[in-house]
Chain A
Amino acid sequence: MNTRASWGKRATFGVGITLAFAYFFPFFLVFVNSVKLKYDILENPLAFPAPITWDNFQQALTKMEFFRSLTNSLIITVFSVSLLIVFSSMLAYYLARTKSKSSKYIFLGLVASMIVPFQALMIPFMALFAPFVSWNNRASLVFFYIGFGVALSTFLYHGFISTIPTEIDEAASIDGASDMVAFWKIIFPMMRPITATVAIINALWIWNDFLLPRLVLTRETQTLPLSTYLFFGQYSIEYGQAMAGLALAVIPIVIFYLILQRQFISGISQGAVK
């Protein structure tokens, strides 16, 4: 029995490590080729770089305007996620605590809207918002993310608020706290775990989103996925530079993940199961 168990364990480990290697392999190719000379890449993409060159990174940093795109991505993600947290937690609190027919229908409407793919309304969406977008496209993108993200975030908060006893609200109101004060001082701090989930799910979506920014943003305001895509399109023949550009695009989010690994995993499992 014991040997059978250990054989099973070894086999599982073997399969696991092979798959982990396979999953990592594309990134290995990107990193290893990002520091090679062009000729060396085509000679053997698998070989370790000799000599190592950092020119590719230097070129990619300027040509894809890395720091500007990174800043744009950060600004758009931070503002959208913060506003989504504020608005959807308040909306969810209202809908969960108001026991009326209309609040029930509003909630059902929000849930139903989650099935609508963006592509189904993308064309009239652009027709409607084209003038608005040209005025300030980063601000309008944040506005759009609130509109498209509010349903899921409210849904997640709603589930959590239902588990907070209403006695807490009542106690606060007896003590003379207004609705707003009671919500922000007492209820909101109690929702830390679900706020983390909402933040992570929305941040991942917004950070990586491509189609909406492609429609809305201009060259000056483009985000990291957008500038990477355009850069790759222009310089894909310059393999080394293209690989350096990809490496630069991958690194920020992976670092962020490695720091907050536990929150990511629990955030995603909670967000999906709800």
Chain B
Amino acid sequence: MTRARSIKKFMKFAGVPLAIFIIVLVVPFVNGFYYSFTDWDGFKATKLVGFANYTESFEDPRFWSTLKFTALFVVVSLILVNAVAFGLALIVTSKLKSKNFLRTFFFVPNLIGGVILGVIWQFIFNSALVALAEKYDWEMFKESWLQDTNKAFWALIIVTIWQSSGYMMIVYITGLISIENDVIEASQIDGASPVRTLFSIKIPLMAQAFTIALFLTLRSGFMAYDVNVALTGGGPFRTTELISLHIFEDAFAEGDFGTGQAKAVIMFLVVALAALVQVTISKRYEVQR
């Protein structure tokens, strides 16, 4: 192919999408790095300020508490979402007649946006449970869970499990049904119990599904915004802000663009590093078939 023709082909097939990709994603991403080292106020950057925005971010005690809260949220939701999702996948791949019917129920919350799920649960925690607690004298729910930082954390976890376990369940189902039946039959003939088959045969053979599901939950844990804003809104007193909401509030509510962007860059680095570590570790457990 001549050079002119190959350039023409590139423009026809790749030109528009790549241009949009660069304008929408690459340019703001690169700008963001640059702005985080300047005195940017949202409109113009007059001079470079070195790491000032970063030191300011790390001197902000609220940022530290957000980082801690986010880390805890990511770890706990990662473990629980995947444990529940794997359990659901085992239920709906068993020999039950009702398995398709059950699968629909587990999957439906996932279809609905996080904001809508969040406000549904806001009603449950703030109104429905409180009303029932008054009526039946349940001490545990008399005061709304969303008024207390620790309980609000668990409220966030519950809604996140409800929201994402259905999706991860599909990932695990795909892994479980990809295992050849003769391998499982062979293990049963050898006298392995169902539990033994699960841990020694099924889980090692579907390690790839775990890599994917763990990666997806890790990423969505760090990026969680919708449920956070709709369920707790960061309250009480901004103690339940996950990092996304924290950055949003910094920039768009308080107008701290420089430090907001420095925090956003830190978030990116943390997410990239965590994902890299997780995928490297998970890959080690994958069996070559």
Q: Interface on A for B, CB 8 Å cutoff?
A: 8-9, 12-13, 15-17, 19-20, 23-24, 26-27, 29-30, 33, 41-46, 87-88, 90-91, 93-95, 98, 106, 110, 113, 115-128, 143-144, 146-148, 150-151, 154, 179-180, 183, 204, 207-211, 215, 225-226, 228-229, 232, 236, 239, 242-243, 246, 249-250, 253-254, 257-258, 261, 264-265, 268-269, 272-273
Contact = CB atoms under 8 A, between A and B. Distances in A.
B113 to A, nearest CB: 3
B13 A93 contact: yes
Chain B contact residues: helix, strand, loop or mixed: helix
Interface centre among A42, A46, A118, A120 (most CB of B within 10 A): A120
Nearest to B100: A261
Interface residues of B, number: 94
Given A91-B14, A144-B24, A146-B24, A272 B171 contact: yes
Contacts, number: 261
Interface string B85-111: 000100110111011011111111101
B264 A211 contact: no
A90 B13 contact: yes
Chain A contact residues: helix, strand, loop or mixed: helix
Interface of B: 6, 9-10, 12-14, 16-18, 20-21, 23-29, 31-32, 35, 42-43, 88, 91-92, 94-96, 98-99, 101-109, 111-117, 119-124, 127-128, 131-132, 135, 162, 166-167, 170-171, 173-174, 194, 208-209, 212-213, 216, 219, 222-223, 225-226, 229-230, 243-244, 247-248, 251-252, 257, 260-261, 264-265, 267-268, 271-272, 275
Contact of B10 (A8, A94, A228): A94
B134 to A, nearest CB: 9
A210 B244 contact: no
Contact of B264 (A90, A120, A127, A208): A120
B24 to A, nearest CB: 2
Contacts of A90: 12-14, 17
Contacts of B222: 117
Contacts of B264: 119-123
A39 to B, nearest CB: 11
Interface centre among B14, B35, B102, B174 (most CB of A within 10 A): B14
Nearest to A112: B272
A98 B222 CA distance: 36
15 contacts: A8-B194, A23-B108, A29-B120, A90-B13, A91-B17, A116-B268, A120-B29, A120-B268, A121-B32, A123-B247, A125-B28, A143-B20, A146-B24, A239-B127, A272-B174
A124 B13 contact: no
Interface centre among A16, A95, A225 (most CB of B within 10 A): A16
A243 B131 CA distance: 16
Contacts of B111: 204, 208, 253-254, 257, 264
A87 B25 contact: no
A162 to B, nearest CB: 16
Given A29-B128, A242-B123, A272-B174, A117 B17 contact: no
Given A91-B14, A150-B17, A209 B113 contact: yes
Contacts of B132: 44-46
B31 A124 contact: yes
Contacts of A258: 104
Given A26-B120, A91-B14, A115-B272, A121 B174 contact: no
A261 B5 CA distance: 44
Contacts of B226: 210-211, 225
Contacts of A143: 20, 24
B106 A23 contact: yes
Contacts of B26: 113
A250 B28 contact: no
Contact of A250 (B107, B116, B265): B116
B25 A122 contact: no
A236 B123 contact: yes
B92 A119 contact: no
A232 B98 contact: no
Contacts of B98: 13, 16-17
Nearest to A29: B128
Contact of B248 (A30, A122, A154, A236): A122
Ordered nearest first, which 5 A-B pairs have the shortest CB separation? A147-B24, A208-B113, A94-B13, A120-B268, A20-B105
